[in-house]
Amino acid sequence: MQPLLYRYDGSFEGFLCCVFDSYARKEQPTEICEESTAQLSLFPVHRVVTDPAHAKRVFSSLRARISAKAEDLVLLGFLTCMHERERVLLQFIRLGFRYGAKVTDMLSDPTVSSLEKAVGYLREEAHLLLGFVRFSEYEGRLAAVISPKNRVLPLMQAHFCARFPEETFCIYDDVHNEALLYRPHVGGIFSISAFSLPEADAREQYFRSLWRVFYETIAIQDRENPKCRQTQMPKRYWPHLTEMRPE
């Protein structure tokens, strides 16, 4: 079979349209990737047009023909950094349409296993970042930067909006160029092409120093275990942690 490449706009709706076209055209693409990251290819390329009606039809079929759990796996799977994410998700949906609700229990299948592991890693990273986000105050507004491997902001949104309902804040994901923007009782996740923070003022610097002093004071030097700390707080998160940055 000659390799066939699908290119789409990178949105979840666009991916669902890839699924629709795969069935409508009776073909199995060997690669699905975003148009913005696609490389020149000598193989045939099908450029998928995002059609809301097609996307809605595919999405509604996930729960109707497979299960609510499968629908959740597809939604979360699209947020992961899984290798060949779109191709794995398409294969999972095909399996679901074939076997129904029991597909989510077929953990011996490589496709289902890969998807479950990727979603588990996504959930774990989102859980870690609930405790690793460090806000700074800029003229009465809170801002933080994170660098996750997965697109974790949708999983973090409810927690921070409920925790700071009267605040105005921003959490910027500098890997995926997305930001959770919130003002009292209104919030959402938006794509941002450029983002920068102003220099911290004297008051903010003072509170950062207080946090570092607190962090160092409560530490028990005799029980210091760098290896354990790196396990609980991986080093790739350290650049955005106030207590791990130099004064």
The pLDDT of residue 113: 97
The pLDDT of residue 94: 97
The pLDDT of residue 130: 96
pLDDT band at 231 (very low <50, low <70, confident <90, very high): confident
Overall average pLDDT of the 190-195 stretch: 90
The residue that leads in pLDDT, 179 or 194, is: 179
Is the confidence at residue 53, as pLDDT, over 90?
A: yes
Q: What is the pLDDT of residues 196-228, one digit of tens each?
A: 888 999 999 999 999 999 988 988 888 888 888
Overall average pLDDT of the 54-64 stretch: 97
What 3 state SS string does the chain have?
Answer: CCCCEEEECCCHHHHHHHHHHHHHCCCCCCEEEEHHHCCCCCCCEEECCCCHHHHHHHHHHHHHHHCHHHHHHHHHHCCCCCCCHHHHHHHHHHHHHHHHHHHHHCCCCHHHHHHHHHHHHHHHHHHHHHHHCCCEEECCEEEEEECCCCCCHHHHHHHHHHHCCCCCEEEEECCCCEEEEEECCEEEEEECCCCCCCCCCHHHHHHHHHHHHHHHHHCCHHHCCHHHHHHHCCHHHHHHCHHHCCC
Distances (CA, A) of 73 to 80, 125, 142: 11, 16, 32
Is the confidence at residue 247, as pLDDT, over 80?
A: no
- How far is residue 39's CA from residue 244's CA, in Å, rounded to a whole number? 39
Report whether 181 contacts 188 (CB < 8 A): yes
Percentage with pLDDT > 90 across the chain: 78
The pLDDT of residue 36: 74
Q: What angle, rounded to 10 degrees, do the helices at 12-24 and 52-61 form?
A: 80
**Token pair of 35 as six digits:** 């148009």
The pLDDT of residue 120: 97
- Provide the residue type at 220 as one letter: I
Is the confidence at residue 140, as pLDDT, over 80?
A: yes
- How far is residue 126's CA from residue 41's CA, in Å, rounded to a whole number? 35
Is the confidence at residue 38, as pLDDT, over 70?
A: no
